[in-house]
Chain A
Amino acid sequence: MTPLAYAKADSEQNAIAQVGNGPAKYLGAGTNLVDLMREGVETPNRLVDVTGLSHVIEPTVSDGLLIGAAASNAAVAEDATVRTRYPALSRAILSGASAQIRNMATVGGNILQRTRCAYFLDIEGARCNKRRPGQGCDAYEGFNRGHGILGVSPACIATHPSDMCVALAAYDAVVHLVGPEGKRRVPLVDIHRLPGDTPHVETVLRPGELIIAVELPATSAAVRSTYRKVRDRASYAFALVSIAAALDVADGRIANIRIALGGVAPKPWRAHQAEAAMIGGLPERATFVAGAEAALTGATTRPNNAFKIELARRLIVAVLTDLAGATR
């Protein structure tokens, strides 16, 4: 079998010390990492199990919510506060994977899961710039129906597959990191990097850095939010397009609006341009259509995934229309 050392961390500092600088990996539930090891995509020589670290879900002093990185996806989805104040997060998680996987998978692992691009997963039979920088991308001219249309580059058109992260992006979540050089906080939307010419560099995490928590800022009770996912079967499939959206209407105008898209980009894609286009506008179809247009500005498609532009537009308009109706 693949030679491998395994250790369970009993503290953050202990985890950092054990990972060191070698080809080691933090291990959450392993629902993605172990799969990738079986495929030969990931080849760590050491796994440091961090599932024993914080998994609390607790209020913050600023009326937000702090979620330990080792919390299971299921625990977050079922949390009463999440369900009432961050419903899009609960729905996003429940729309992903299977009950068994959600019971195991951790919040930290969900953020750092890797793309499901078939060419990325096939180490023997396909070329991939993510696996081997400069090798070429077989997805570009191959099966790319599920691939990205925003933020992609000719070097890589893979998507980040998470549902959970899309909701976190909409809620302005902040990721708490700890590493050899200490602690820092990074907005969730800044954790993942766009591929450019270096698709193998996927996040801003520094060597040895560990996600220890995700913080959700306070949210207004007036804000309505939801998550909707479109996929090729009713369950157990990654998003073709998904959306997490939040809408706050005051005095008949859009006071606050957040849109994040999944299934379309190498990262959970916050549609800032669309938000800017709609804020202050009337909560009606014409505004949402204009917002959807803005959200897809700059999209680049391949023949197999060109439908995603129209699908994303429709989804944005439908979800915002629903939220606007619920707000009234």
Chain B
Amino acid sequence: MTEPTNQRLMSNRSNSRNPTRRTVLAGTAAAVAQVTLGGGATAQPKPGPLATKDSLARLPDSLGASLPRRNGRLLVRGVARFAAEHTYPRMIYGALVYSTIPRGTIHNIVTTAAESSPGVVRVMTHKNAPRMAPPESFFGTRTGMAGSALPVMQDGEVYWNGQPVAVILAETQEQADYAATLVEVSYDIADAVTSFDEAADAAVPADYAGKALRYVAGNAEPALADAAVSVDLAFSTPRHNHNQIEPHAVTVAWQDGRLRMHDCTQSVAMSAVTIAKVFGLKRSDVHLTAESVGGGFGGKTLWQYHILAAAASRLVNRPVRMTLTREGVFRVCGGRAPTRQRVALGANRDGRLTAMIHTGTTVKIAQNVMTEPLIDASRHMYRSDTMHLDVRVGTMDMLANTFMRAPGSAVGTVPLETALDELAEKLGMDPIELRIRNEPDVDPTTGKAYSQRALVAAYREGARRFGWQPRSGQRLGRREGEWLVGTGMAAAYYPYKRFPGSAARITFGRDGRALIALPGHEGGMGMETATAAIAADLLGLNQSNVQVRYGDSTLPGSIIAAASQQTAAIGASLAAAGAALVVELANLVPRGSALHGQPAKALMISEGSLSLIANPSRRIAITDLLEWSGRTSVSAEGRAAPPTEVATWSMHSTGAVFLEVRVNAVTGELRISRVTGVYDCGRILNPKLAASQFRGGIIMSLGMAMMENTHFDERSGRIMNPSFAQYYVPSHLDVPEIDVAWTGVPDPRAPNGARGIGEIGMNGASAAVANAVYDATGKRIRDLPITLDKLL
């Protein structure tokens, strides 16, 4: 693959410490700046100083370099250690037996054959499992990390088809796997709700993260009926399952009543707290680490296998490794819930939206707190005279659904952006123009000003890079032999988030090197690299002099690699730790030196020195301070300021995705031939890693459009395609070269100006596929995935 052609946009250096947005645009993203400033239609807060008293708003100059991933060499050499690669003396292996009914109770479970099988140490069932509290679920409590709050093997109840009903412990994995086939289970089957329709019939109003999934402004239905032009459309999206390249695994050992756990979690801190509560331990009695995580995407939380491994280990007092098979991941670890949605849009002839209705029904289980927030994009993307947004949720007897890259917005963006395309067609208007005409001045549902939003610039830059042909109601698709070629576009959306509770420790050594310690996670996104760069900039060090410790629950604070917020959380934590370090260093200033008597608030760290803010030439190298005070190092810990920025500002990332597809006129086969994505996510801290994140998200979004589909058999509640051979994700041949770029406009309210980029790639591309398919074929496919039988 050639170097990305977006270096011009990637380059993101501003020499100004106090740039206005205008100068940032002019200096950093020339191409975008031209269209942005020329267009004049962007809704921006008034330009103001980006550097404020708020330390979060600092805009360091050394960020933005394309540094390679720090752990890249370890990964390609196979040296990086994952959860299933830790070994203990006397360690044994666990295998799971899964239920084959969706609801009921275990009538009888016969384990004698398994117990007498070679190498088997013990078989754990509900009859002999230790007593444990049910885990706290994510969003169920502040620190909950579990996929559901269902009790784990405490009685004979079966809650889903695939629930673990026995754990085999054996001297080898093969012995455990074999013995698992010898367990015989009979059930008393109870009525189960395994039909979406049945669950939907009893659906109720829903909320997400404590917020109602409903917004009503004005009277949308009459407005829709009265609209000059309108569309009213029904959509569906299927179930998806997580397929991280690393199947879930855990290695556990009890040591003097304390639990040592090697995990693949997206939050070592929250997993440690949650499992501590399950076993009635103090948090400090759980030491949980995850140095390397082979992909998270929302699915690497706390699932029953963790608890079962720890319980089984306690039962036999031996260390246990439990590695799920790929099927096991499908049976035990949840995925994205299916949805049915309606999007109706009404507009004046000039394209101004007069009505926006986006409603949907999805499903969850009774014991989790996860309703797909599928109206997320609709809340924040477009203005409309009236709005009616509403999500209802039904309850099914199934494996707990869960968070999966861009929860809510991934499935909600497709109907919204497809409906806009259909409306544009009816209006005889270019779909970009329709979107620009409805670009809000302020957040349409909260009324808050956007902290930073250059979506219009992204549209224009994307159109330029892609060679978008404006259209006015007609299809521009063409035919090349058997292939129907079409183009389409869609907007992308993902919210900015920063969860409270993150912290970091900075230890500065007399050798001039710094050690950063925080409970972050390296799941493939480059957290270690980004953290080192942020810290290097903060301390004025070369990044090679910064070392990062992470993935350890004993490190200060609580961080989660989720919701695209880890970098923001780390940035805020480092800023706080940096401020705390200034205080520590101020205490070391000797009498008679240039900075003696200055209060900490008058001091700052720059270029490895403590210096006076008012006169930076008055400075003392930190290494000198340490030497003079006879210390080898100085250490400070800081807790990130509460995320008050989101209370004041509407903070969201956006983007524009353009696609060319080819549909075979004979067979209906769908291929993607070109992709351009331009994203507005604030400052890009590392172009190399960011491009990879965007591309990965786009690939996953293409998979959602074209093939991802969990085969949930509604007769049995059983997933019937639990393997890579049967659950399709894009192969290399399905993915063309992907052109990505960004506006690079720093968000003055986000730490280091960066809003987070992990999930927005998931949004937009799927809808652009659907729109491009229409351009190519004249067919609107509103039920994902867009498989060839729908295009025949």
Residues on A facing B (Cβ under 8 Å): 1-2, 40, 116, 118-119, 122, 124-126, 138, 141-143, 145, 230-237, 240, 307, 310-311, 314-315, 318
Contact = CB atoms under 8 A, between A and B. Distances in A.
**Interface of B: prevailing SS:** loop
A72 to B, nearest CB: 20
Given A1-B172, A143-B711, A310-B792, A232 B787 contact: yes
B348 interface: no
Given A141-B715, A142-B715, A310-B792, A235 B725 contact: no
A240 B178 contact: no
A2 B180 CA distance: 11
A233 B730 contact: yes
List 7 A-B pairs, minimum CB-CB distance, nearest first. A1-B174, A234-B733, A307-B789, A235-B733, A235-B731, A118-B720, A318-B666
**Interface of A: prevailing SS:** loop
B671 interface: yes
A119 B181 contact: no
A40 B181 contact: yes
A318 B482 CA distance: 9
B177 A1 contact: yes
Given A1-B177, A314-B667, A232 B728 contact: yes
A234 B671 contact: yes
Q: Counting chain A CB atoms within 10 Å of each CB, which of B100, B711, B725 scores highest?
A: B725
Contact of B728 (A2, A122, A233): A233
B530 to A, nearest CB: 33
Contacts of B667: 230, 311, 314-315, 318
B118 to A, nearest CB: 8
16 contacts: A1-B178, A116-B726, A118-B726, A119-B720, A142-B715, A143-B721, A230-B667, A230-B669, A232-B707, A234-B731, A235-B732, A237-B731, A240-B788, A307-B792, A311-B788, A318-B666
Nearest to A1: B174
Nearest to A236: B731
Interface string B9-40: 00000000000000000000000000000000
B725 A116 contact: yes
A310 B671 CA distance: 20
A233 B731 contact: yes
Contacts of A40: 181
Contacts of B716: 125-126
A319 B405 CA distance: 41
B713 interface: yes
B203 to A, nearest CB: 25
B121 to A, nearest CB: 15
B161 A125 contact: yes
B175 interface: yes
Given A124-B98, A237-B731, 6 more contacts: A118-B721, A126-B718, A142-B713, A230-B788, A235-B732, A311-B792
B570 interface: no
Contacts of B175: 1
Interface of B: 98, 100, 161, 172, 174-175, 177-178, 181, 482, 666-669, 671, 706-707, 711, 713, 715-716, 718, 720-721, 725-726, 728, 730-734, 787-789, 792
Nearest to B664: A230
B720 A2 contact: no
A40 B177 CA distance: 11
B713 A315 contact: no
A307 B789 CA distance: 6
A142 B789 contact: no
Contacts of A231: 669
Q: Counting chain A CB atoms within 10 Å of each CB, which of B161, B174, B669, B730 scores highest?
A: B669
A63 B554 CA distance: 74
A189 to B, nearest CB: 25
A166 B765 CA distance: 37
Contacts of A1: 172, 174-175, 177-178
Contacts of B789: 145, 307, 311
Nearest to B785: A232
A10 B175 CA distance: 31
Given A1-B178, A233-B734, A125 B100 contact: yes
A303 to B, nearest CB: 11
Given A118-B726, A318-B666, A233 B706 contact: yes
Q: Counting chain B CB atoms within 10 Å of each CB, which of A1, A141, A230 scores highest?
A: A1
B732 A143 contact: no
A232 B669 CA distance: 7
Q: Counting chain B CB atoms within 10 Å of each CB, which of A116, A119, A233, A237 scores highest?
A: A233
B283 to A, nearest CB: 38
B666 A315 contact: yes
Contacts of A119: 720
A143 B720 contact: yes
A50 to B, nearest CB: 24
Q: Counting chain B CB atoms within 10 Å of each CB, which of A40, A143, A231 scores highest?
A: A143
Contacts of A232: 707, 728, 787-788
Nearest to B161: A125
A143 B730 CA distance: 21
A138 to B, nearest CB: 8
A233 B735 CA distance: 10
